[in-house]
Structure 1
Amino acid sequence: MKKIIVLAGLLFSVSVHAQDLKTKFNWHNLDYKEDGVRGISTEKAYKELLKDRKSSTVIVGIIDSGIDIHHEDLKSKIWVNKKEIPGNGIDDDGNGFIDDINGWDFLGNSKGEDVHAEQLESVRVYNALKKKFGENPSKKQIKKNKADYELMNKIYEEIEADRKEAEQYLPLYRNMYSALSEATKVLQKAAGTETLTTSLVQDLKAENLDRKGREAKELWLRMQQFGGISELKRGVEYFEEKVNYNLNYSYDARSIIGDNPNSLEYGKYGNNEVVGPDALHGTHVAGIVGADRNNNLGVLGVANDVEIMVIRAVPNGDERDKDVANAIRYAVDNGARVINMSFGKGYSPNKKWVDEAIEYADSKGVLLVAAAGNDNSDVDVQPQYPNKFSAKGKEFKNWISVGAINFEEGEKLVASFSNFGKKGVDVFAPGVAIYSTTPGSEYQELEGTSMAAPVVSGLAALLFSYFPDLTHHQVKDIILKTVVKVPGAANPAGKTLEDLSTTGGVVNAYEAIKSAIGIQ
């Protein structure tokens, strides 16, 4: 699930202009010694280590919500399947997918219709268990299936607690959105323009405003620090979707696709429409990996020579194991060297399918990079799926799990939302206030381990690009062994990075490339 972070009752992802950023532009690519922020030293690596080296193009598969393939900063970097003739309705390359020009949508049907919202996996698991036990299970049935019965009750409590929270926040957000909408109208009239900026509203003199105008100004400025009206609107939509779809026991999104959820059906369902109804998350992720570095527009991707393969499998809700497994296989079969997976969930009823796909990727030399999750929890105790361990406890050799750091130091270094784990999280990377691409050739500052993972995916692609003879295991080993250690407490609990991850450090492009040069 693409989880929106809620903090202090407000959505904590902010739409801003470059001049209003919380920290330095492109901070995740900057160098701590030279720039004063703990980026991964990408710019320093390009300037000092890569300037006279040749690169080769690397395909990065991004499994996500969809990507705006026409974005000004991404359109030159979108993968094109040259073996496919666009729009002829024929599977020209024989890969099982008709007209898959830029990737594939595992959340659509042959009519071009797409799933937008989905249930949480917990709801789907609960429904299956409820069907198994019925309304009045016998004591004998409960005793015989004790573990499942306890799981069903546990999940039900989780769902209802989540529903209660959503139902509490929804009217709050609706009221704030309504109030801010009215305040905006008042200020537009007072300013004589429909376009309001912070400086313009600040310059409105109190003596020229009536009481309603002064109250509108105060409210508008206060809410701007939380993203303003666009973020409140997103908040309303987020909680509406939780109540109406994510936590709705009877909602059936899969009927749109018309597949059999209990069968993999690789190449038998979906469509080639890779943007989807909500491409915000995927577009932002794509920009972090490989936004055009040479067009003098927008932002700078970590990797300068990539093609982004778009694989849509993550709805507003929990992704299905079936789609994840098929998405991984699709990326592998069509040439991806790196696969970014900025999503996750608490249950995985068909984990075996995903495990097999991960092993398939390993056999083909493909590296998988995954977000650790945004629940501020220990994944060694409460796993997020998919993860680096198989159902049998085997650790996958082609997997990197990524937690998020902040641009601030000391006890604020590890992002307050980031998951962690001495065994389950490998590295940390910048994931707070990351300014990247959003649909409509716009740019936005978002945060989450969803943003930290593509920083690492970009670094992996960079290594493959300049050092094509490296294996995927070598690239992983280089990334993990060249992390920068940061002494001292990294969170308010006094834990260090050593306590919170397997490597105890933050990824660093400069050190990784130095290591790769030594191996070459």
Structure 2
Amino acid sequence: MKYNLVAILAICSGTLLAAKPDHTFLPDPILNDTTQKTPKNWHHLDPEKDQYPGISTERAYKELLKNKPSKSVVVAVIDSGIDIDHEDLKDVVWINEDEIAGNGVDDDKNGYIDDVHGWNFIGGKNGNVEFDTYELTREYARLSKKYQNLSDSEKAKDKEYEYFQKIEKEYTSTVERMRNQFNGFKGYFENYSLSKKLMEAYIMTEKLDVASLKSVDSPDERVMAAKQLMLYALENGLDDKQFEEGFDYFNTALDYGYNLDFNPRDIIGDNYEDLSQRVYGNNDVKGDFAFHGTHVAGIIAAKRNNGLGMEGVANDVKIMVVRAVPNGDERDKDVANAIIYAVDNGAKVINMSFGKSFSPNKELVDKAVKYAEKKGVLLVHAAGNSSKDVDVKDNFPNRTYSNNGVKANNWLEVGAVSWEGAENIVAKFSNYGKKSVDIFAPGVDIFSTAPDQDYQNASGTSMAAPVTSGVAALLLSYFPHLSTTQVKDIIIKSSINYKNLKVYKPGSEELVKFGDLSINGSVINVYEAVKMAQRIKAPKKKL
């Protein structure tokens, strides 16, 4: 899912304030298609040898890992679903050897029938959830119902009322802003359509280009206005397809995300209020919205050296598919169950490229995170795409346990860097946090797998997280004696230090030190990680 809405919204409202709720599938904030000047594999390249801030994957394989034995590692991808029949993924998809496909029996007695490649927690007998509301909407709907018949004095005594007032203010202002932007978008689209027709007729062409537009000179103000509008559109990568996707984005948000009356949970058929319920869903791990998950899976583990599309980071990985993320906000119950399922079925790394600003059942997710920590499973989480400081603005799930403030040791929070380097190295959309974000990884214009045998570019911390998950899996594969805690420490300590580099703070033109944007002020590097891992000897076996 890729939108170039920032350029459109800049004209619609005179600002860059897109209505962007903190859910997984945010509009892609990159304005231009850079694939012509950026290598498709830039994130695998070496900063020193290739002059791109990649993670040195190819260098690590050629110089350090050649002819070295490896052990297969299971990585769970909790996401929107994965096209497991993709040519570059079908050989790396996890298979539950204890389950007999299609027999309608829970052969391995884990509670999930025919979970051959994973499980779908947002599906049921009646199909699959594609769209869902945002958590902000769900909280506003829940609390509005709670307080609608209470007196002012009763509201004042209720411990949740202050929280409700915050929710109400944010919901109403966000929806109003979204509707205003949509109106501006529609107005700009009308001007765009008229300008396009006028310039095509004036130049006598069916396809406009920048050079032809720049040559136009006319005393007619309408012609010159149309020229300027079309020049802006072309120079910012806007075309008919982008506008179609823009309409889709706004309609999806207003019809589903912010719709107080929309509830797709009947499709699943669970008792949503029963937070202890573990077994529900179906085994359709692709679902109806598989682009995001398929792209993430390819970054981690697309089959290497097969002559197809692209190369994953890790070469001996099995991808377990756990579908829990709709087009909208994931629900805490599903996230918790997804983590537990992944842990119980052998995942050593769990990639979580999703997030939101509210988590009404955070303690349930915390319990699952603690379970993963106890079992030695590494959780890799995308920091989010709202250009915000997550030290001060909530982004869930996170590593801090709500009941005691203790931080999970098995958690990596990942921001995104761009191929541009220098002061532009931090992705403009990436969240950051001196206390909350561990590390940065490539997350702009990442070329990876897409459903139906396709390959596409996408940008986001959603791409940076699987780069990191791939590195973790690679280390566990080639150095199976390492614990996940050791792997986390290696990834951090071996990363390339940019602490003192002056960079643009996401969402602004302010130059700050890279070290002010994360705990470690560094970018992941697999070559250096492998070198460090080689120095940690396996413990001697007891006789």
TM over 0.5: yes
Relative to 1, partners in 2 of residues 1:499 and 1:434: Cα closer, same or farther, differing over 3 Å?
same
SS, match of residue 403 in structure 1 = strand
2:430 matched to 1:431?
no
Report what 1:230 is aligned to. Answer: 241
Q: Report the alpha carbon displacement of residue 232 of structure 1 after superposing the two structures with TM.
A: 2.5
Note if contact 1:59-1:336 (Cα within 8 Å) is conserved in structure 2. Answer: yes
2:391 matched to 1:380?
yes
CA–CA separation in structure 2 for the residues paired with 1:446 and 1:136: 47
Relative to 1, partners in 2 of residues 1:311 and 1:227: Cα closer, same or farther, differing over 3 Å?
farther
SS, match of residue 115 in structure 2 = coil
Q: Report the alpha carbon displacement of residue 312 of structure 1 after superposing the two structures with TM.
A: 0.8
2:159 matched to 1:142?
no
Report what 1:301 is aligned to. Answer: 312
Residue from 93, 96, 121 that aligns with 2:135: 121
Relative to 1, partners in 2 of residues 1:15 and 1:51: Cα closer, same or farther, differing over 3 Å?
farther
Report what 2:8 is aligned to. Answer: 9
Residue from 419, 431, 444 that aligns with 1:419: 431
Note if contact 2:384-2:415 (Cα within 8 Å) is conserved in structure 1. Answer: yes
Note if contact 2:503-2:514 (Cα within 8 Å) is conserved in structure 1. Answer: yes
Report what 1:245 is aligned to. Answer: 256
Q: Which amino acid in structure 2 is aligned with residue 490 of structure 1?
A: V
Residue from 512, 519, 526 that aligns with 1:509: 526
Note if contact 1:406-1:431 (Cα within 8 Å) is conserved in structure 2. Answer: yes
CA-to-aligned-CA distance 1:275-299 (integer Å, 9 cap, x gap): 1111111111111111111211111
Alignment of 1:355-394 (within 5 A): 355-391=366-402, 392-394=404-406
Q: Report the alpha carbon displacement of residue 409 of structure 1 after superposing the two structures with TM.
A: 2.5
Relative to 1, partners in 2 of residues 1:452 and 1:179: Cα closer, same or farther, differing over 3 Å?
same
2:354 matched to 1:343?
yes
Alignment of 1:400-479 (within 5 A): 400-479=412-491
Q: Count residues in correspondence.
A: 505
Residue from 62, 85, 99 that aligns with 1:47: 62
Q: Report the alpha carbon displacement of residue 161 of structure 1 after superposing the two structures with TM.
A: 2.2
Q: Report the alpha carbon displacement of residue 387 of structure 1 after superposing the two structures with TM.
A: 0.6
CA–CA separation in structure 2 for the residues paired with 1:178 and 1:257: 40
SS, match of residue 140 in structure 2 = helix
Report what 2:492 is aligned to. Answer: 480
| Unaligned residue ranges in structure 2 (runs of 5+) | 10-26, 217-221, 538-543
| Unaligned residue ranges in structure 1 (runs of 5+) | none
CA-to-aligned-CA distance 1:222-262 (integer Å, 9 cap, x gap): 44843633332222111111111111112112122121122
CA–CA separation in structure 2 for the residues paired with 1:275 and 1:171: 34
Relative to 1, partners in 2 of residues 1:33 and 1:262: Cα closer, same or farther, differing over 3 Å?
same
Note if contact 2:133-2:329 (Cα within 8 Å) is conserved in structure 1. Answer: yes
Relative to 1, partners in 2 of residues 1:152 and 1:5: Cα closer, same or farther, differing over 3 Å?
farther
**TM-score scaled by length of structure 2:** 0.85
Residue from 144, 169, 174 that aligns with 1:162: 174
Q: Which amino acid in structure 2 is aligned with residue 43 of structure 1?
A: E
Q: Report the alpha carbon displacement of residue 55 of structure 1 after superposing the two structures with TM.
A: 1.2
2:500 matched to 1:490?
no
414-423 or 259-268: which moved more? 259-268
SS, match of residue 428 in structure 1 = strand
Q: Which amino acid in structure 1 is aligned with residue 133 of structure 2?
A: Q
4-13 or 353-362: which moved more? 4-13
Q: Report the alpha carbon displacement of residue 128 of structure 1 after superposing the two structures with TM.
A: 2.1
Q: Which amino acid in structure 1 is aligned with residue 491 of structure 2?
A: I
CA–CA separation in structure 1 for the residues paired with 2:497 and 2:304: 28
225-234 or 507-516: which moved more? 225-234
**TM-score scaled by length of structure 1:** 0.89
Relative to 1, partners in 2 of residues 1:181 and 1:48: Cα closer, same or farther, differing over 3 Å?
farther
Relative to 1, partners in 2 of residues 1:180 and 1:269: Cα closer, same or farther, differing over 3 Å?
farther
Report what 2:279 is aligned to. Answer: 268
Report what 2:81 is aligned to. Answer: 66
Report what 1:108 is aligned to. Answer: 123
Note if contact 1:264-1:326 (Cα within 8 Å) is conserved in structure 2. Answer: no
Report what 1:131 is aligned to. Answer: 145
Residue from 257, 260, 268 that aligns with 1:257: 268
Q: Which amino acid in structure 2 is aligned with residue 331 of structure 1?
A: A
CA–CA separation in structure 1 for the residues paired with 2:375 and 2:272: 27
Note if contact 1:68-1:439 (Cα within 8 Å) is conserved in structure 2. Answer: yes
Report what 1:499 is aligned to. Answer: 516
Q: Which amino acid in structure 2 is aligned with residue 85 of structure 1?
A: I
Note if contact 1:191-1:204 (Cα within 8 Å) is conserved in structure 2. Answer: no
Note if contact 1:5-1:374 (Cα within 8 Å) is conserved in structure 2. Answer: no
Note if contact 2:125-2:267 (Cα within 8 Å) is conserved in structure 1. Answer: no
SS, match of residue 445 in structure 1 = strand
Q: Report the alpha carbon displacement of residue 352 of structure 1 after superposing the two structures with TM.
A: 0.9
Q: Report the alpha carbon displacement of residue 6 of structure 1 after superposing the two structures with TM.
A: 4.5
Relative to 1, partners in 2 of residues 1:467 and 1:61: Cα closer, same or farther, differing over 3 Å?
same
CA–CA separation in structure 1 for the residues paired with 2:277 and 2:466: 26
Note if contact 2:7-2:236 (Cα within 8 Å) is conserved in structure 1. Answer: no
Q: Which amino acid in structure 1 is aligned with residue 178 of structure 2?
A: A
CA–CA separation in structure 1 for the residues paired with 2:310 and 2:32: 13
Q: Report the alpha carbon displacement of residue 204 of structure 1 after superposing the two structures with TM.
A: 12
CA-to-aligned-CA distance 1:170-190 (integer Å, 9 cap, x gap): 345456667878969x98xx9
Report what 2:333 is aligned to. Answer: 322
Q: How large is the Cα RMSD of the aligned pairs?
A: 3.0
Report what 1:278 is aligned to. Answer: 289
CA–CA separation in structure 1 for the residues paired with 2:296 and 2:29: 14
CA-to-aligned-CA distance 1:405-452 (integer Å, 9 cap, x gap): 111223312111111111111001111111111112112111111111
Report what 1:333 is aligned to. Answer: 344
CA-to-aligned-CA distance 1:88-133 (integer Å, 9 cap, x gap): 111111111111121111111123x111111111111122222222
Relative to 1, partners in 2 of residues 1:305 and 1:67: Cα closer, same or farther, differing over 3 Å?
same
CA–CA separation in structure 2 for the residues paired with 1:416 and 1:336: 32
Note if contact 1:14-1:226 (Cα within 8 Å) is conserved in structure 2. Answer: no
SS, match of residue 128 in structure 2 = coil
Report what 2:52 is aligned to. Answer: 37
Report what 1:92 is aligned to. Answer: 107
CA–CA separation in structure 2 for the residues paired with 1:221 and 1:143: 52
CA–CA separation in structure 2 for the residues paired with 1:425 and 1:375: 14
490-499 or 398-407: which moved more? 490-499
CA-to-aligned-CA distance 1:359-392 (integer Å, 9 cap, x gap): 1111111100000111111111112000111102
